[in-house]
Amino acid sequence: MSTASHIHLQRLEAESIRILRQVATDFERPVLLYSVGKDSSVLLHLAIKAFYPAKPPFPLLHVDTTFKFKEMIEFRDATAERLGLELVVYTNPEGLAANTNPFTHGSSRYTDIMKTEALRKALDEGKYDAAIGGARRDEEKSRAKERVFSHRSGGHVWDPKNQRPELWSLYNTRINPGESMRVFPLSNWTETDIWAYIYLQDIPMSELYLAKERPVVERDGALFMVDDERFPLNEGEQPEMRSIRFRTLGCYPLTAAIESTASTLAEVIIEMRSTHSSERSGRLIDKDQAASMEKKKKEGYF
Amino acid sequence: MSAADSAKLDMQQFIELESSKSMLKFITCGSVDDGKSTLIGRLLYDSQLLYDDQLEELKRDSKGRASVEEEIDFSLLVDGLAAEREQGITIDVAYRFFSTTRRKFIVADTPGHEQYTRNMATGASTAEAAVLLIDARLGVSTQTRRHAYILSLVGVKHILLAVNKIDLKDYSQELFEDICTDFDEFAGELGFKSVCAIPISALKGDNITTLSERMPWYRGMPLLTYLEELDPQRDDSFQFRFPVQRVTRPDLDFRGYAGTLAGGEIAVGDEIMVAASLKRSRVKSIVTMDGDLPAASKGDAVTVTLEDEIDISMGDVLHRPGEPLERSNQFQAHLIWMHEDPMLPERSYLMKIGTQMTSVQVTDLKYAIDINTSRHMPATKVDLNGIAVCNFASAQAIAFDAYKENPETGAFILIDRINNNTVGAGMIDFGLHRGQNLSWQSFEINRESRARMKHQKPAVIWFTGLSASGKSTIADILEQRLAAQNRHTYLLDGDNFRHGLNKDLGFTDADRVENIRRVAEVARLMADSGLIVMTAFISPFRRERRMAKEIVGDIDFVEVFVDTPLEICEARDPKGMYARARRGEIPNFTGISSAYEPPERADIHLDAGDRPAEELADEVLRQLQLD
Ligand SMILES: Nc1nc2c(ncn2[C@@H]2O[C@H](COP(=O)(O)OP(=O)(O)OP(=O)(O)O)[C@@H](O)[C@H]2O)c(=O)[nH]1
Ligand SMILES: [Mg+2]
């Protein structure tokens, strides 16, 4: 990476490191939202780099919806262990008590309670004043509008029509009591950049990104992995073993897989280059309603 | 060869190809509805950068939008906020990423609406080039000028003037050329390195990725080719600048300074200096997780360790000993105001420059800039989207470069103390106490020693009052009294200034301010040489007198208000000026057609009226209490 040939990635890396250092310097209780996916993994890698030889001065937070892939949870714990970092896991207790799940409550309500509301509560309980996330502007059109340091008023509300101007790399990190900041060090990375960086830096990734025989059912043309017995099968439905991988990681009942034989990182990247759909197409929550991402973000979703 | 092996090879090629592409950051700007968002959408669409599901969504969303008879409303691709889609305008910047076989692009699509100018400035601050759109039907507008002005202010060097909607004007060559001429007329003085004009239709796709058959008269490149070939001519001649962002101290054996090089380069063994303390040391190591580096250059985020234990903390800036930054608590800057509450000179703001933070106040709002005419206008406040030139005073001295020398170390933002909003963006022109960055050279002969030789304490006695109020007469008598006490004095007044040092100045507001500034600077130098200096200028504005006092700095400054009623001054009228002013022959004559702002609390207030000048001079002498 230190060779001159990857100037573009070097610049992105340096920009992210600068942002991460800024968070650590200007906030009292920052936290890094670690969602186990590829963007989180890059973010975490950059955080380690930013403070080297010290450790990142903030813990990792994972909002566990209870429906994450098993492999994600294993990978998460192994990663925190390997890096010797504090990991805070939060599950919305009320949602848990009500046995909230995507099957009977519907994906939208489930996401509201187990992700959005859970995140708000987790941040409040931890009294975190800055939450660092791995979102990128190229992911979605409302994200393309968001600042690197994105201000949240009390109640985690985002006011997209009234964002602070953000000039040069002079980030305004000031907040009043009760307010908070969402920080996006990967704002200017594209999906291609992420994969190229993972490849070049050899960043450990969840195996779910690589193709393997896994038990799946097909619904409306989308493939879902049956990760445990909670997945309700329809009449006559039988999980079958197919070679699949995932382009993004989330809750297994809401994350569609793609059929693939790409079992190494290089193969995945090469395959990705010829794809015709965006990475978010595999996520159900974006499609529920027009402008749904913006709405969710206003309410505190990442 | 296995699938994995061949993928690895492909991967190598892919990464090589990707990293061989250069990168260009540009923005689209121009007046509201000129077609900026449509153009970006069109670029993404034509360069086949949309995924199937995005395209489908776009077609779905385009239905029922009356604004276009075409199948697709391209602006929907970038106008991502619900409010934007409802109103059909852009409110905030959208950052989009695309690449062609030759180059990667980050484009910021900015709003044209005047209300959201701050968001345009946000996009412009990091852009290397700008596509400035003009609606062919409307030609150059105020907003075109405003955006062009902001582009020049933040230092965007390359302009692509896109004359859009040419389809609605029959692809007229004549119209295109007229608009180009109009633009050149006012943009000539804005200092752009290159301006290239292209007639386009963002909606129909003319001259976007390929040359349009509908404009055979156009002999240039299509827009995308221009963007691919543009050489941004990045300036790499910066001096080494390293603003310290964090002190890294994992254990007692390691003490490093984390930051991003804001200019130049540095190697292990090089000597460095700390801008504030002027302490020196050498670079011991440049640490990264990928291993120590022999050297680092502009843009690199590294951690530096030094040979010596010297006191360095967040906000310090490292430089090479022979290449200092300016250091001062006073400076002049261009300011873009970005908040509904206007900028008021007496108000204190937080200022962030690099990794430094301090409070700051405008000591002199020198002038506002009328973006239509580029003319300077007197102003007492700066409103939303206004641009002005101001003198600032900061609570702590800051280290900086002129913005033109290095934007990283010359740009700052202002933050409201109460609501923490970002309210202003500034670009430093120069420091005001140019002497101050040399203050560390302690001279053997200094003000104290010079004053001691004269057996007196230097001071500046600043007379203010209406024309013919008696300032010069009183000061003159005072000087005689002081001379009689063996004191070394000098009297500065209109006669010895207007004909010499200031003979290049007229009577515009700007010139009046400059006049006072020079008087104050000269008074300071003379007082520094040990003299008791008297000045006799009308100096009608509080702001200027405050500036004078600030310039004089830590030398005693005594404001003497010669309070003679206007009727008496007018009756005296030794040079017939009042009579002429009454006849309207002299514009801006203080007391008649221009205000005199009496001091709120003068150090010495002379109730002048008809008391004899000798008596008044004695009163000043008494109140001065010169030991
Ligand atoms: N005929 C014609 N119409 C165009 C062209 N380009 C844009 N338009 C139309 O002009 C209108 C405004 O386009 P936008 O792209 O939203 O304009 P904008 O400059 O982004 O506007 P703001 O961001 O709100 O300042 C839309 O109805 C477009 O369809 C063009 O080349 N020809
Ligand atoms: Mg627009």
How high is the pLDDT of residue B6? Answer: 81
Q: Provide the token pair at A122.
A: 């987790």
- Report the complex ipTM: 0.90
pLDDT at A287 over 90: no
If we measure between CA atoms, which residue out of A67, A110, A118, A116 comes closest to residue A92?
Answer: A118
Cis bond before residue A53 (omega within 30° of 0): yes
The amino acid at residue B441 is: Q
Smallest CA separation from ligand 1 atom 1, residue: B165
CA distance B126 to B128: 7
Q: CA A28, A33, A39, A41: dihedral to nearest 10 degrees?
A: 90
Does the CB atom of residue B112 touch ligand 1 within 6 A?
Answer: yes
pLDDT at A289 over 60: no
Round to the nearest angstrom and report the end-to-end CA distance of chain B. Answer: 98
The amino acid at residue B265 is: E
Q: Please state the pTM of the whole predicted model.
A: 0.78
Comparing B178 with A107, which gets the higher pLDDT? B178
Instruction: Indicate the pLDDT class of residue A281, thresholds 50, 70 and 90.
Output: low
Starting at the edge strand found earlier in the chain, the sheet holding B556-563 runs B489-493, B532-536, B459-464, B556-563, B604-607
pLDDT at A172 over 50: yes
Mean pLDDT of A257-273: 88
Cβ neighbours for B551, distance < 8 A, ≥ 6 positions apart:
B432, B517, B520, B521, B524
**Segments in chain B below pLDDT 50:** 66, 434-443
Chain A residues whose CB is inside 8 A of the B260 CB are 14, 17-18
Chain segment A19-76, per-residue pLDDT in tens: 999 999 999 999 999 999 999 999 999 999 999 999 999 999 999 999 999 999 999 9
Comparing A278 with A95, which gets the higher pLDDT? A95
**Range B182-187, long-range pairs (CB < 8 A, 24+ positions):** B182/B139, B182/B140, B183/B134, B183/B140, B183/B144, B183/B148, B186/B140, B186/B145, B186/B148, B186/B374, B187/B148, B187/B159
CA distance B197 to A5: 34
How high is the pLDDT of residue A224? Answer: 92
SS3 B285: strand
Contact B95, A137 (CB under 8 A): yes
Q: By the CB < 8 Å criterion, does B525 face chain A? A: no
Q: By the CB < 8 Å criterion, does B17 face chain A? A: no
Task: Please give the backbone phi and psi of residue B282, each rounded to the nearest 5 degrees, phi first.
Answer: -125, 150
Comparing B177 with A278, which gets the higher pLDDT? B177
How high is the pLDDT of residue A3? Answer: 46
Chain segment B199-208, per-residue pLDDT in tens: 999 999 999 9
Contact A196 B18 (CB under 8 A): yes
Burial of A73 (0-12, 13-18, 19+ CB in 10 A): middle
Per the listing, tokens 């002969």 go with B445
CA distance B464 to B466: 7
- How many whole angstroms from its chain centre is CA B259? 24
Mean pLDDT of A232-244: 91
How high is the pLDDT of residue B69? Answer: 56
Comparing B593 with A203, which gets the higher pLDDT? A203
CA distance B539 to B597: 9
Which atom of ligand 1 lies nearest, measured to the CA of B201? 31
How high is the pLDDT of residue A285? Answer: 47
Within 10 A of B236 (CB to CB), how many other CB atoms are there? 10
Does the CB atom of residue B119 touch ligand 1 within 6 A?
Answer: no
CA distance B79 to B90: 6
Q: Provide the token pair at B484.
A: 């009689």
Scanning B402-470, the segments in alpha helix (DSSP H) are: 407-410, 447-453
What is the whole-number distance in angstroms between the Cα of residue B165 and the centre of ligand 1?
8
Does the CB atom of residue B36 touch ligand 1 within 6 A?
Answer: yes
CA distance A193 to A200: 10
Comparing A122 with B487, which gets the higher pLDDT? A122
How high is the pLDDT of residue B202? Answer: 94
Q: By the CB < 8 Å criterion, does B49 face chain A? A: no
Q: Provide the token pair at B420.
A: 């923490």
Mean pLDDT of A256-285: 78
